[in-house]
Amino acid sequence: MPTLADALQSLGLRHTATHLDDIVALATKRRWSPTQLLEHLAELELQERTRRSLERRLARSRLGRFTPMSAFDWAWPTRIDRPAVEATLRLDFLPEARNVVLVAPQGLGKTMLAQNIAHAAVLAGHHVLFTTAAQLLLDLGSQESARGLARRLNHYSQRALLVIDEIGYLSYDARAADLFFQVVSRRYERKSLVLTTNLPFSEWPTIFPNAATATALIDRVVHHAEILTIEGESYRRRVAEATRRPSRASA
């Protein structure tokens, strides 16, 4: 016969199995009734499963390390709609499968904002994937069979939230545009996208030159979208210049 700890492991009650002696000792000390003991075990297992679920969602999101919103300098951009940004951080767009597009030059925090939106969605229990446009299109373009491509397209279409960073930094051929269009189309009016770009939509055809789907792609992105434009000087450049000044003064 298996031990009680082994039986609990087999039932999937791993936390209880691992801490069995401590739980029995606590129940004895507090003179719990059988019902109180079971309530305590259920609470512990629910907490542990919630923790493990969060860890899995964070790992699968590919979010990595990021700067929290508490470090964002709202006063630095010359133009930013703070209430609209804060609404996206509350995930107001998700229930209606709306998109969010963050448009800003380099160094104004659009990637940081997108990462924090993604993290908020993970904490809210959603399955999220964070990727760059280059990574997405390299992955899809490297599929050697129709079945493999269909599998990867499903991978990108099934997440509750897909965040695609750095649209506009590279140009792509017509096939890449078609692949990007397929991702957007599969999610259109079903699940939300968060996109970051350094280019206004009028310049998106330069990302996908000679692609017949470029206009249709833009139409599907903006049809149900919050367009958040941020303007100003690069924050990273300001930090770099501030770092250089003391070294120059000491020289």
The pLDDT tens digits of the residues spanning 1-46 come to 679 999 999 999 999 999 999 999 999 999 999 999 999 999 999 9
Task: Say yes or no to pLDDT of 241 above 80.
Answer: no
Question: Can you give the pLDDT at residue 242?
Answer: 62
What pLDDT, in 10s, does the model give residues 7-17?
Answer: 999 999 999 99
Residue linked to tokens 């000390």: 29
The mean-pLDDT minimum among 82-91, 149-158, 215-224 falls in: 215-224
Asked whether the predicted pLDDT for residue 208 surpasses 60, the reply is: yes
Rounded to whole angstroms, the Cα distance separating 151 from 138 reads 15
pLDDT given for residue 184 in this prediction: 95
pLDDT at 130: 98
pLDDT at 247 over 90: no
Q: Per-residue pLDDT tens for 80-131?
A: 999 999 999 999 999 999 999 999 999 999 999 999 999 999 999 999 999 9
pLDDT at 248 over 90: no
What is the rounded average pLDDT of the residues 128-148?
Answer: 96
